[in-house]
Amino acid sequence: MSEQPSSAVRGSDDPEYAANLKRATLAASVGSALEYYDFALYSLASALIFGKIFFPGLGDAAGTVASLATLAIGFLARPIGGLFFGTLGDKLGRKWVLMITIALMGGSSFLIGVLPTADQIGVWAPLLLVFLRICQGFGAGAEQAGATVLMAEYSPVRRRGFFSALPFVGIMLGTLLASVVFVGLGQVPQEALLSWVWRIPFLASILLIGVAVLIRLRLQESPTFVKLEKQEQVAHNPLGEVFRRSTPSVLRGIGLRMAENGGSYIYQTLAITYVSKLGVQTSVGPLAVAVGAILGLVTIPVSGALSDKYGRMRIYRIGALVQLALALVAWPLLSTGNAVVTVVVIAISYGVGVNIMLGAQCAALPELFGSRHRYIGVAVAREFSAIIAGGIAPFVGALLLGWFANSWIPLAVYVIVLTMITLVTTFFTPETRGRDLTLLGDALADSSQEIAARPAPQTSSFRDHHDTERPVAV
């Protein structure tokens, strides 16, 4: 049965559905916050702390390099986790896989906080750290994909862009929380920091885990997966199915992510590295990212709502054009080495340019794929693009800075190339707004009749609750 308007299924008339929608939003948001809190926290610790307490025998410089290598290992584990848990999400359901990923991700962070150091257990300390980092990345590889799919399948059809974007506000909150931790740890004496204080932020992960697990335990399975089970249409081999039938959709998903994910890492890491070489204080970079995260709290849901009214690809295209324009002025301004200019430029480039695309992407990626292989499709598109666009960005940027004597021009060209890939991709990606998520095939295969049957957009995605139909499971 298609997702069609009906007075019997309006979200405002169904308290049970409204409660589950709220739980789904909170569950996905807390998971996103935990993932990005853990990521930023581990990045800080690997740069400032772990080299000294887990690799002391290597010396300061080599110990830092070894510590940062453990950070990279987590990125390598993410796509493997995305494939594994994405397959389970399409076979067993969204809810229980998200229970596993949040426990694995958060539990690993908590256990890092209780790890003995190299002085206590020798070589076992760094080995255990690497193992826990792999577990952390393994769980994180499917957490965002699962949250994206869950919210898209739970959201009211004509407000899907807005509701699907809300969990990604958790990304901004996690980044902000980590920034506060950065500031706090910077005030602690070095001896106390290395002995026990560094453990506190990792141990605090247990609070976020507890909240997320409690919410997810009370959450019902997504309406789309419920329908698949009732009609006995659950895929037996979703991984094989997605590569057999959905490679064009996966490639479009990767193309859409190049500017968004690449831009995010470039402005959060590469731009900060660049300005630090110009003499800008190290505290300015985290401040700029924090301001950008605050802007993202508004930009993401607003662009998601606008995609409900004007279409996913139109808003995505606007975001790419904004990032393209910013790239032409941001890097010359950053090259001035002015602290105030650095904060403004990075905050706007990250908080506005990147996040306009993210807001439209939240609903667009799940809508690209059919219901039988949606989780694995989104996971593959997200995690493999994260390696290609985001994971290698600091490395490529460091090479460019070395090859071109710290010139800003190659960095600007790098951003422009990634953005052009996404901009071109938007013209080859079908518009998916209002798509029936119970359809088994991908959006590329939608007939003209199925496209015509999609509900018309609302005047506003922020209001008109009385005129919003909920997704149908049976």
Provide the pLDDT for residue 472.
56
Q: Identify which of 165, 187, 216, 87 has the alpha carbon closest to the alpha carbon of residue 461.
A: 165
- Return the amino acid letter for 318: I
Asked whether residue 435 is assigned to any structural domain, the reply reads no
Q: CATH number for the domain including 282?
A: 1.20.1250.20
CA 465 to chain centre: 28
If we measure between CA atoms, which residue out of 170, 165, 222, 156 comes closest to residue 463?
A: 156
- pLDDT by 10s per residue, the chain, length 474: 444 444 344 444 567 777 778 878 887 887 778 777 877 777 767 766 777 888 887 777 677 667 767 777 877 888 898 889 889 889 888 888 888 888 888 888 899 889 998 888 988 988 998 899 888 888 888 888 888 888 898 889 999 999 999 888 888 888 788 777 766 776 777 777 778 888 888 888 888 778 878 888 877 888 888 888 888 788 888 889 999 999 999 999 999 999 999 898 888 877 877 887 788 877 787 788 889 989 999 999 999 999 999 999 999 999 999 999 999 999 999 999 899 999 999 999 999 999 999 999 999 999 999 989 999 999 999 988 888 887 777 677 777 877 888 888 888 999 999 999 999 999 999 999 999 999 999 999 988 888 888 888 876 655 554 455 666 554
d(CA 401, CA 378): 33
**Claim to verify: residue 277 and residue 217 sit in the same structural domain:** no
**Do 212 and 119 belong to one domain?**
yes
Same domain? 233 vs 297: no
Which among 215, 237, 259 is the end of a domain? 237
Q: Smallest Cα–Cα separation from 9: which of 453, 462, 472, 455? A: 472
Looking at residue 104, its amino acid is L
Which is nearest to 148 in space by CA: 59, 27, 262?
27
Q: What is the mean pLDDT of the chain?
A: 84
pTM to 2 decimal places: 0.85
CA distance 297 to 275: 25
Beta-carbon neighbour count of residue 382 at 10 Å?
Answer: 24
Q: Judge if 224 and 340 occupy the same domain.
A: no
User: In terms of domains, do 233 and 255 share one?
Assistant: no
Quick one: 466 exposed, middle or buried, by C-beta within 10 A (0-12, 13-18, 19+)? exposed
Q: Are 42 and 106 in contact (CB under 8 A)?
A: no
In a domain, 409, yes or no: yes
| 144 and 190 part of one domain | yes
List pLDDT tens digits, range 268-302.
Answer: 877 877 887 788 877 787 788 889 989 999 999 99
Question: Considering the domain boundaries, does residue 468 fall inside one?
Answer: no
Q: Residue 439 domain-assigned?
A: no
Please tell me whether residues 222 and 147 are part of one structural domain.
yes
How many distinct structural domains can be found in the chain?
2
Question: CA–CA separation, 173 vs 289, rounded Å?
Answer: 12
Does residue 288 lie within any of the structural domains?
yes
**177, 212, 237: which is the final residue of a domain?**
237
Give the domain extent around 113.
16-237
The type of residue at 86 is G
Residues 212 and 88 reside in one and the same domain: yes
Q: 215 and 190 in one domain?
A: yes
Share of the chain above pLDDT 90, in %: 31
Same domain for 131 and 219, yes or no, is yes
Secondary structure (H, E, C), the chain: CCCCCCHHHEHHHCHHHHHHHHHHHHHHHHHHHHHHHHHHHHHHHHHHCHHHHHCHHHCHHHHHHHHHHHHHHHHHHHHHHHHHHHHHHHHHCHHHHHHHHHHHHHHHHHHHCCCCCHHHHCCHHHHHHHHHHHHHHHHHHHHHHHHHHHHHHHCCHHHHHHHHHHHHHHHHHHHHHHHHHHHHHHCCCHHHHHHHHCHHHHHCHHHHHHHHHHHHHCCCCCHHHHHHHHCCCCCCCHHHHHHHHCHHHHHHHHHHHHHHHHHHHHHHHHHHHHHHHCCCCCCHHHHHHHHHHHHHHHHHHHHHHHHHHHCHHHHHHHHHHHHHHHHHHHHHHHCCCCHHHHHHHHHHHHHHHHHHHHHHHHHHHHHHCCHHHHHHHHHHHHHHHHHHHHHCHHHHHHHHHHHCCCCCHHHHHHHHHHHHHHHHHHCCCCCCCCCCCCCCCCHHHCCHHHHHCCCCCCCCCCCCHHHCECCCCC
**Residue 399 within a domain:** yes
Whether residues 155 and 301 share a domain: the answer is no
Decide: 151 and 24 in contact? Cβ < 8 Å.
yes
Residue 173 resides in a domain: yes
Question: 334: Cβ–Cβ under 8 A, 6 or more apart, which residues?
Answer: 271, 274, 275, 278, 341, 342, 345, 346, 408
Question: Which of 42, 63, 58 minimizes the C-alpha distance to 105?
Answer: 42
* 310-313: long-range contacts, CB 8 A cutoff, minimum separation 24: 310/457, 311/431, 311/433, 312/161, 312/360, 312/361, 312/363, 312/364, 312/367, 312/431, 312/432, 312/433, 313/360, 313/364, 313/426, 313/427, 313/429, 313/430, 313/431
Is residue 273 included in any domain, yes or no? yes
User: Do 90 and 176 have their domain in common?
Assistant: yes
